[in-house]
Amino acid sequence: MASTRSAAPMLLAMVFALSLQPASAQTAAQPPAPTSAGPVDPALMQDLVVANRVLTDLNVIDGFGHVSMRHPTDPNRYLMGRSVAPALVTADDIMEYDLDSNPVDAKGRASFLERFIHSEIYKARPDVKAVVHTHSPGIIPFSVSSTPLRPVFHLGAFLFPDVPVFEIRDSAGMSNMLVSNAQLGKALASTLGDRSVALMRGHGSVVVAGTIPMAVFRAHYSNVNAQLQSQALALGGSVSYLLGEESQKTLAVIDQIHGRAWDLWKRAALEKMTPK
């Protein structure tokens, strides 16, 4: 009993000494939060919010999936909604991240587990300004079969010559199929390469573009193309796919006219968002 009583003052002294350490010493193991790249043009922020609604309206995403944009003034930051169903995203839900997917100011908001899809693509592709991750039902069969997704109609020309498939088993073995860390995000970005779309085996797809409207366009029409290709294959016989020259000429036109579809989709989404 005497030895226990004599040890108690020493233990109290150690605890007291630790409490006197500077806060910086106690939290040295925690990296500081990244700094913000600054405010974003409200019109661009609105487009990011609206993109979530449009993709939901088009049945490209539902309660799952997400869309992001690179920060317009700092290529080392990107913006994406908090972990919530896309149709519920508002401007207050948009979070800023660095390219390691650390939030600038979480404010208690939860982040998507698969945000590394976005950050690693932004690292690998300086040309990419917007990323969409979908679970579109039309493309899933092409992610699990030996038949490649290829362009069958003019609005799918960006799929030429075909679409690569990310096999997560090659990087993670038996997993929960989620790209939930930087290593898997980097592997997915490598599979995507310089393409506009990559499929994720048994999971969905990732779509990239230089603007939010084009990313939404490609996400929608990759799903439409997949549905049309499945129908054509079901008819039997051979399928006539777009050739390289046709695709290039069509892409030049799409660059000029895709805003027409975006304007239509955006107007419909804003009408739904406007209180009656």
pTM of the full structure: 0.88
Percent of the chain whose predicted confidence (pLDDT) is above 70: 89
Give tens-digit pLDDT for 108-117: 999 999 999 9
Q: Are residues 206 and 121 in contact, defined by beta-carbon separation less than 8 angstroms?
A: yes
Phi, psi of 162 (to 5 degrees): -165, -175
Residue 30 has a pLDDT of: 60
Q: For 228-244, how does the pLDDT look when each residue is reduced to its tens digit (9 = 90+)?
A: 999 999 999 999 999 99
Average pLDDT, the chain: 91
The full 3-state SS of 174-185, as one line of letters, equals CCCCCCCCHHHH
Strands 94-98, 77-81: parallel, antiparallel or unpaired by DSSP?
Answer: antiparallel
- The catalytic position among 96, 114, 245, 246 is 114
pLDDT tens across 37-85, in order?
Answer: 999 999 999 999 999 999 999 999 999 999 999 999 999 999 999 999 9
Alpha-carbon gap, residue 219 to 58, rounded angstroms: 10
Q: Is 114 a catalytic residue?
A: yes
Grade residue 29 by pLDDT with cuts at 50, 70 and 90. Answer: low
pLDDT at 172: 97
